[in-house]
Structures are given as C-alpha cells and as structure tokens.
Amino acid sequence: MGRIISIVAAIFAAASLSLAAGATPPLPDEPTALPPAVEQGVDMVYIDPEIAGNIRWRNTKLDDVTFARYAGAPLDLIQAINPLYADLRRGLVAYQRNWGVLPQFTMPAGPALTVGSDGERVTLLRERLGLPVGSRFDEPLSTRVSDYQTVHGLKADGIAGDDVIASLNLGAEHYEHVIMINMERARRLPAPGELKRHIIVDAGSAMVMMYDHDKLVGSMRAAVGAPDTQTPMIAALIRYADVNPYWNIPGSLQVKLIAPRVLEQGLKYLTDRHDEVFADTSPNSPLIDPATVDWQAVKEGKLTLRMRQGPGGGNSMGKIKFMMPNKFGIYLHDTPDKSVFDVDQRWISNGCVRLQDAPRLAAWLFGAMPRGRDPNVEERVDLPDPVPVFVTYLTVEATADGILFRPDPYGRDPAVLARYFAEERQLAAARQH
C-alpha cells in the first residue's frame, strides 16, 4: 500500500505542475484548439468549465517517464474516479494473469496453422499459449487460439493465421499498455457523485450511454465520425434542442454529392430536397437563386457555398438535434436512415453523432419528445437544466472476467504508445528476440 500511495502522490505532483504550466479549460466563447495531449488521444477538451470538475486531476500532461511508470496504478482505491477506470484496472490485472504470464517470444511466419497441422511452428505456438509440449495442432490448441482471438478482437475461428501470429508478436506488454491508455481516457470522465445526469458518447464503440446519479439508465447505438472526419474527445453541455431542424450542408458534400447531382438532374434535385443556397458563408447571408450558381465550379471545389436543407422527412438531421455549443461544430442528432445502426461499422459521419433512437433521448432529457408548432419551421427548445455530454474514445472493453480489445478506427493508440511507452516497447521487443 505504501508503494500505491507513493504512485498517487507522484501523479498528483505531476498534475499540479501541469496546471501551473497553464493547463486550464477553454472558455465557451474562445476558439478551441486541440492541445498536444489531446492530439495524442488521451486528454479531453472541456468546452464548459463548470463540468470540468477537478481539472488538476482530470487532464494531466504527464511527462514520458511519469506516464509510463504510473499508468495503470490502482488510483481508484484512493481518489474518486469514474467506475470505468476501476473496471479497466481489474481487467488489466486479469489480462496480466491470463496472458501476461505466458512465454513471450517471436513466432516465425508461415502458413496458417489449424487442426491437423504439425511441426516446429505448432510446438512453438503451444509453448507461446501455455499448453503442454507437443507438435500437433489439436482441438485444445484450437480452443486456446479461439480464446486468444476473442480477447484480442480477432475473428474467433481457432486458426492461427497471419493475424494471430502478428498479434502474438506484439507481446503482452503492448496490450497492457493499450489498457493503460484507456484507463487514462476513463480517468477524464466524471467521478461518482459529481453529476446528477450526464451522457457518455464512446466514439470507440459508437455507443451512447445515459447516466442518472451514476446509474446507467439507457444506451443506444450511434454513428460517429469517419476516420478522416473524427469525432473529437470533448465535454460540453446540451443547452437546447432544435426541433424540425435545418441541416447545414458541409462543403465537402457540396463537392461530392450536391453539385454532381445538380449537374446530372438539374435544379429539381434541390427543390425535391428542400435545399436552400445563400450568397456566401456568413451567418446573415441572403438567399439566392440556385440558377445563378456555377455548379461546375462547386463540383471542382473552386466555389464553396452556404447551403442548408430544410425541415422535413428526408432531412439528414431527422426530427431533432441536441445542441451543445462548441467550436468543433459537434452535436447529437436524429437521422431518417436507421439502417446505419444495423451494422458494426458505424464510423461514417462528418464528426457529429447520429442517434439510433433520438426520441428516446429527447424524452429522457425533456420529459417528452418536444413538438414544434410547424413541421416545416425549425424551432429551438431550451433545456431547463443543461446536461453534460462527455465524448471519449475507448478501444478496450472491460468484461466480467477480463478484457476485450476493440478496433482502433481513428488510429490514435499507436501515437500514444510511441510517445509514452517507447522505452518499454523497445525492451519488450529485445526480450522477445
């Protein structure tokens, strides 16, 4: 326990130095830039200071040595931390017990190994996975490979193909470090007793979770930013909702979708969609006649318009969008296309969060789904008590008996591993050889 207290004291000291160096949360009316730590996929930008909590504890820009040395510590035994941290810490212990104790060495490449295979590579695979000495790929080895695949986010077919060999050759410490990174992300989330109601959007699993007094009361699937339009890690307050909302059409879609369709189908394409075109991109720009626009220039990216789609059944915002004002333009919204939630690959949006069941979230926030007075007119409905939303990015899931690794669709983990665990990774690689 003395060592644990020393670890915690060291991290508190590092956090205090970080705050003294200017690690303060941005104000709502200031341009918000991603600080270096956020670019590395650990810290969170707190748009609204009132939900930042103890910023000294939450966002700590720890130096390389401190992070690598103390990440994964049982801090939840002393400091109030989001329960996801404790769950991941226990998962880390289980992972070390189940997989970290196995022999760590580099497996040679070669043909896929499956039931019936034999030879030296099978002997090495059995040793690597902690099974009795032998040279034959039997059913127990297939089961062991399948278990490994399940935990490490691979297709659980019991076949040791290139993906399994590559994963094994990363070594257990690699995966332990990934767990630690996710523990750090979880530490940025609200601690027990801090908030009455809040929402966590996990861009790693493309899920939305609603909490009331720390109790999970609902969840739903989401569609979040694509790899080239990533949903950032931010915390902000839902202050109001727009019922029957307009959709401001981004310039990229004007190039890829709108202009080509206008050139192919004519201006009827715009009227059918209730699209409006403005003179320029300023907020108070007047409407103009689409016939006066050089749509070929729009298609070629030489002209960017301000465009919006009017309310209605085909509007990409659906019936409602939940506004949490921030400089990134991120919000939660309904969508008319529910088929996107039937698949696992839901990293497809321009950065905002599409909701599987927006009316259910609206009922939870407002008591009932707000109804506008005119379905063709956007209407703002203020939320009496703003509700915090924490957008995180978790590539590991804690389970009842351990850990499940997820894909890293944004590719954020490697940069953090390289920054904070470079020395440990070099030592681990040397030991494997």
pLDDT confidence of residue 427: 62
Count of C-beta atoms within a 10 Å radius of residue 97: 10
- Encoded tokens for 208: 């939305």
| Separation between Cα atoms, residue 81 and residue 136, nearest integer Å | 47
Backbone angles phi, psi at 320, to 5 degrees: -160, 145
pLDDT band at 424 (very low <50, low <70, confident <90, very high): low
Backbone angles phi, psi at 269, to 5 degrees: -60, -40
Name the residue among 27, 19, 89 with its Cα closest to residue 60: 19
Q: Where are the alpha helices (DSSP H) in 206-253?
A: 251-253
- Domain 1-78+196-245+317-401: CATH superfamily, name plus number: L,D-transpeptidase catalytic domain-like (2.40.440.10)
pLDDT confidence of residue 66: 53
Q: Quick one: residue 91, left, alpha or beta (phi over 0 = left, psi -120 to 50 = alpha)?
A: alpha
Q: Which helix (H) or strand (E) holds 83?
A: helix 83-95
Instruction: Give the least confident one: 40-44, 152-156, 373-377.
Output: 40-44
CATH class of 95-176+402-432: mainly alpha
pLDDT confidence of residue 70: 57
Instruction: Give the least confident one: 113-127, 180-194, 415-429.
Output: 415-429
What is the average per-residue pLDDT within 144-154?
98
**Neighbour-count burial of 426, counting CB atoms closer than 10 A to its CB (0-12 exposed, 13-18 middle, 19+ buried):** exposed
**Token pair 């090495």 is at which residue?**
124
pLDDT in tens, 165-204: 999 999 999 999 999 999 989 988 998 988 999 999 999 9
Residue 267 in this model has a pLDDT that exceeds 80: yes
- Encoded tokens for 134: 């032998």
Q: Can you give the C-alpha Rg of the chain in angstroms?
A: 25
Residue 65 in this model has a pLDDT that exceeds 50: no
Count of C-beta atoms within a 10 Å radius of residue 192: 12
Of the chain, the percentage scoring pLDDT greater than 90 comes to 65
- Using a cut of 0.85, tell me whether the model's pTM lies above it: no
Name the residue among 306, 325, 305 with its Cα closest to residue 242: 325
Amino acid 362 reads A
| 256 Cβ neighbours under 8 A, 6+ residues apart | none
pLDDT confidence of residue 431: 63
Inter-helix orientation angle 172-187/422-432, to 10°? 160
User: Which residues make up the CATH 2.40.440.10 domain(s) of the chain?
Assistant: 1-78+196-245+317-401
Amino acid 312 reads G
Count of C-beta atoms within a 10 Å radius of residue 367: 9
- Greater confidence (36 vs 108) lies with 108
Amino acid 170 reads L
User: Which residues make up the CATH 1.10.101.10 domain(s) of the chain?
Assistant: 95-176+402-432
In SS3 terms, 110-153 reads as CCCECCCCECHHHHHHHHHCCCCCCCECCHHHHHHHHHHHHHCC
pLDDT in tens, 363-414: 999 999 998 888 888 999 999 999 999 999 999 999 998 999 999 999 999 9
pLDDT in tens, 345-356: 999 998 999 999
What is the average per-residue pLDDT within 287-314?
90
Backbone angles phi, psi at 36, to 5 degrees: -55, -40
Q: What is the mean pLDDT of the chain?
A: 85
DSSP per-residue codes, 393-405: --SEEEETTEEEE
Residue 135 in this model has a pLDDT that exceeds 80: yes
| Separation between Cα atoms, residue 380 and residue 302, nearest integer Å | 34
Name the residue among 127, 113, 118 with its Cα closest to residue 165: 113
Residue 260 in this model has a pLDDT that exceeds 90: yes
pLDDT in tens, 6-30: 333 333 333 333 323 333 333 333 3
